[in-house]
Structure 1
Amino acid sequence: MTKHTISVLVNNQPGVLQRVAGLFGRRGFNIDSITVGESEEQGLSRMVIVTTGDENTLEQVQKQLYKIIDVIKVVDLSSNPMVARELALIKVNAEPAMRPEILGVVDTFRAAVVDIGPHSLIVQAVGSSDKIDAITELLKPYGIRELTRTGVTAMIRGSQK
């Protein structure tokens, strides 16, 4: 079982996200991550979906996606060299005495502190899912109050479309 990152270009219409997510659920395929936003073409949105499965599963998903009327194009990004990023906001307990240690972790991961409260910091980390997992693990001992992640967004490297 391998992770697959799939780009799905769809008409920007109400209910498309529900139909795509429903397809995965009905077929018993899990969505590890899904992000949706406007694409370079007006009226179209791009979904980036991360799922786990073998090549048969991926082929089945692609065929089923094309059956949805609002789906324009499906591309397996993970079969090409790609750039994939995720954003996380992590609220960490941070008493003034502990802040230098926490800032050391933040700097190591080239993350940023985007908010400072009397007893907490909000850290913004951008990178691969592994990088987000790693910084989260290192911040756990300080006490993570809240964590939110965007899910993966990705593109094929270079001039390929």
Structure 2
Amino acid sequence: MENLDRLLTLEERFQIKEMLIEGASIRSIAATIGRAPSTISREIKRGSPLGHRAGYQALKSHRIAVANRERPKPLKITSDPALLAAVQKGLNEKLSPEQIVGRLRYEHPDDPAWRVSHETIYKTIYLQARGGLKRELQALTRTGRTIRHTKRRRGF
């Protein structure tokens, strides 16, 4: 269960909007609401069409925030057939996910829809393999593992 105390409420967003109209600084808004100035700054950038204080839209910003919290999120690769085909092609050529990411960035430099991380590729491979879908993807990984083993940080 997620901790909702850390999320801005609709009331806080309206308070931000009112204080912006009054000409308050980001730090004074943060102090009044009890949030970090960086949180307020990011909220204003996300909730403004032009990314600055003048056009902050509290209700629209809240709707976007709620939509972004929805889980489970669809996997980016499986929801785009062209991207899935490109990743599958790279795996067929025995490229690592890191190499596939590099190739996608090289071939589509200006298209954010083709931006994925190597971790997204690994997730797609292992989630599909676990569900019994596309077992050939699992066989194409260099290790042939059915479960992803992440690198663990060493304790201090």
What range describes the TM-score normalised by the shorter chain of this pair? under 0.3
The structure with higher relative contact order (CA 8 Å, sep 6+) is: 1
TM-score, normalised with respect to structure 2: 0.26
More strand by share: 1
More helix by share: 2
TM-score, normalised with respect to structure 1: 0.25
